[in-house]
Amino acid sequence: MIRLVRAEWLKLRTTAVPWVLAIIAVVLDALFILTVFLTKPNVGGVRDTSAGYIVPHTVTQLRDLVGAGFETYLLAMLLGALCITTEFRHKTVTTSFLVVPRRATFVTVKLVTAAVAGIGLAVGVLVATVIGGGAALAARGGSFTAMLHQVPAVAPGMLLVFALFAILGVGVGSLLTNQVAAITALLGWFVVAQNILIGLVHGALKWVPSGAAEAAANLSVRNGGGGGIVGFELFTWWQGALLLLGYGVAFAAVGWAVMTRRDIT
């Protein structure tokens, strides 16, 4: 298994896709950092548009800054999907099955590799945030040291969510196998369908992958310091993590079952 994971990792890091996604993640992270510094303060729950822009200094604000790139977990999900659908797109899956004839092992190796890659992406985003956000904070007269003190509180949740979303991407990719279909389905759900569902049924938020991610990360972003997005109730961090893991494993299990009966030629 270890040799198979190493082979998958070599395959992944010698292709352009992971590096392109990493660059996109860093660019998006920079934009999210900018929005933190362009946020007006809230007074009694109402945004004070007449006040100047905030300089993060409270624990909540500093955690928001450290976790500014949290939503790039969607790129970890796409990375997971591409990890397996690329095999079918470029017809290398036949060779892979000759090396790993057991399809359960094939999918498992992809899950492990994607999870590690997701963690690597999270580390890259965190490093970019600390450097870019820390520089911006120091330039605005804030405390870089105070920001660093919040990294241990934010990093574990981000690493966990990125790994779980990468697993989810592999799960969906193993089910659909078609690269365009998998990416379209994932983005269609997270960008459009999920928001419509939550708008119609507010209680659905805690059950969808994004709500599970918010819970698993246990960040103060959008929830004012824990306990859920304002106006909604989320699961605890470990419940959210288990739910998110369950989504990925369920899709992977169905994908494996379909794959064992599917002709790849």
- Tokens 């790139």 belong to 69
Q: Is the pLDDT of residue 227 over 70?
A: no
Specify if 265 maps to a domain. no
Domain count of the fold of the chain = 1
Q: What is the DSSP string of 175-216?
A: HH--HHHHHHHHHIIIIIIHHHHHHH-GGGGGTSHHHHHHHH
Q: Determine which helix (DSSP H) or strand (DSSP E) holds 46, and give its type and residue range.
A: strand 46-47
With respect to residue 264, please indicate whether it lies within any of the assigned structural domains. no
Q: Which three-class secondary structure state does DSSP give residue 43?
A: strand
- How far apart CA 116 and CA 103 sit, in angstroms, is 20
Is residue 185 within 8 Å of residue 175, measured between CB atoms?
Answer: no
Considering the domain boundaries, does residue 183 fall inside one?
A: yes
Residue 107 within any structural domain of the chain: yes
pLDDT digits (tens, 9 = 90+) for 230-243: 446 788 888 989 99
- CA distance readout (Å), 163 to 28, 76, 178, 181, 232: 19, 7, 22, 22, 25
Q: In percent, how much of the chain has pLDDT > 90?
A: 45
Cβ–Cβ < 8 Å for 81, 183: yes
Can you say how many angstroms the Cα of residue 218 is from the centroid of all Cα atoms in its chain? 14
Q: Whole-angstrom Cα distance, residue 191 to residue 195?
A: 7
Question: How long, in residues, is the chain?
Answer: 265
Q: What is the pLDDT of residues 63-99, one digit of tens each?
A: 889 999 999 999 999 999 999 999 888 888 888 888 8
Is 159 part of any domain? yes
> Using one digit for the tens of pLDDT, what is the confidence trace for 166-202?
999 999 999 998 999 999 999 999 989 998 998 898 7
In which residue are the tokens 């279909």 written?
181
Which residues have a Cβ under 8 Å from the Cβ of 120 and sit 6 or more positions away?
A: none
Q: Does residue 148 lie in a domain region? A: yes
Q: What pLDDT shows up at residue 146?
A: 93
Domain of residue 218 covers: 2-259
Q: Can you tell me whether residue 42 is helix, strand or coil?
A: strand
First to last CA, the chain: 26
- Please give the model's pTM, rounded to 2 decimal places: 0.88
